[in-house]
Amino acid sequence: MKIYSALAAAAMSLVIMDSCTETVEVDAGLDKSRLENTVALTGSFKVLNNPRMRAVEIHEQPVTLQLQATLSNSHDAIAEFIFTAATDDDLVSAYNSAHETDFPGLPVENVKIEDDGLIAIAPGDRLSYEFDMTVSPDGLQQGRTYVLPVRTVSNTPEVKVTDRDTVQYFLFSMQGQRPSAAKESGIVSICYIESGYNPLNAGEWTLATSGKPLFDIVHLFAADIKFDSETGKVYIDLNNNIKAVLENRDKYIKPLQDKGMKVCLTFLPGGDGVGQSNLTDADIHSLAAEIKALIKAYGLDGVDFDEEHANYSDNPQPGFEPNGPMPYEKLCYEVKRLLPDKLLTVYYIGSGMNSGFPYDIAGLEPGDFIDYSYWAQYGDWSEAYTTIKGMDRKQWGPHSVGFGPLGADPQDNYLRQLRADGYGVQVVYNLVTKDGNASAGSYQSILGLIANRLYDESVVHSGIDHEVDW
């Protein structure tokens, strides 16, 4: 659960934690209560409304997180804990060192923990009552991310706090007056804009009642992962269209962000026989560092990976790892380590994801360091998130929609199921201008169906179509 604590503990290395299964014979007549009492009692806390400890956005109002103290086993007496916002500069420095970041520490005067952080668990229980931690944006700088270490101390001698749980790290991203595109249903809409089209078109669709943007996230598709056979280096190549958008971010990116949308850059193999699924550890580190530099330089909100067109078998390259999920997972982990306050999303396509992501990396499940993933067969339905270890439905898009000759329109029954069953993502691919090559009907009807089924609103187009002007 505690992604930032675990990432910090992992420091700079990539450690693979393969799971093992061992069968143990247990006497059916064993008194389990006696066994439980011999197990060490440990305590920690969980965050009910942010269980994976993602970076928390704060706009102009305070944000409250609901916490709950936990015990590994029940105890026959009161278990008491003290949770405090830490002021230690060395903890902030340790976090920044582990992630190669420069986040300032969140001032403790901006933090209020209910009951002054003194929380008790009743005898026989394993969970405390829910308690609040509220963070105020007063005096904090818009556009900065702050790190907050929270210490957990046990006041009960029989209850220990493990080294991993002694300090947990929260990240708070100050949005200031930048609005939020989040909708009441909690479903995130992602829009892909192909290279050669104007991304501003994604911002011209809004919900009629709330006025929020239809799309929460815009992916710029795509930068290429390339291999230089002469130097032996893997690098990122920006085509002229992507470069024009990035180098004019105030014209093409900032207007979307000012409406509350996130703008991310997709990375795609360039057909050289090298891609996410066969990188060496050295390539992973250097590529992740280059990706971080791009995201920071152009003020983007995250990274998206698509593994199509690698041509591993048609164009094999010596010196790389066997094609499989492990290098891909490592790359996702490393990018998230370097960009812990940014989004990391993965299109479920490509040979490296044929069997999903089954491995732990540095003690974390892939669902801990991947924010969202989604099915890439348009108009179809899949629950393949179950093959990504640790991922839940809120992180998954089971029914993607694509415009153009390779796409497919949304299915009404699937949209209803997506919402009813608690899935969290809807993808729209290849949006161009207002009425591009939708295979059946106009964008207005197709996007209107998505808006109605997922958000209970109709959709409105501004009437502005943005052509390519670079």
Q: Catalogue the active-site residues.
A: 308
Residue 282 to residue 274: CA distance in whole angstroms: 14
Q: In angstroms, how far apart are the furthest CA atoms of the chain?
A: 77
Q: Which candidate, 116, 113, 117, 112, places its Cα nearest to that of 154?
A: 117
3-class SS of residue 83: strand
One-character DSSP codes across 269-305: E-SSS--TTS--HHHHHHHHHHHHHHHHHTT--EEEE
Which structure tokens are listed for 170?
């929260």
CA distances from 121 to 47, 68, 129, 431 (A): 16, 10, 8, 52
Cβ atoms of residues 370 and 377 within 8 Å: no
Q: Reply yes or no: is the peptide bond before residue 282 cis, omega within 30 of 0.
A: no
DSSP state of 218: E
Residue 258 to residue 253: CA distance in whole angstroms: 9
Residue 427 to residue 399: CA distance in whole angstroms: 7
Residue 33 to residue 375: CA distance in whole angstroms: 45
CA 208 to chain centre: 28
Report the length, in residues, of the chain. 470
Element (H, E) at 249: helix 249-252
Residue 125 to residue 80: CA distance in whole angstroms: 12
Which structure tokens are listed for 86?
């830490």
Residue at token pair 């809807």: 426
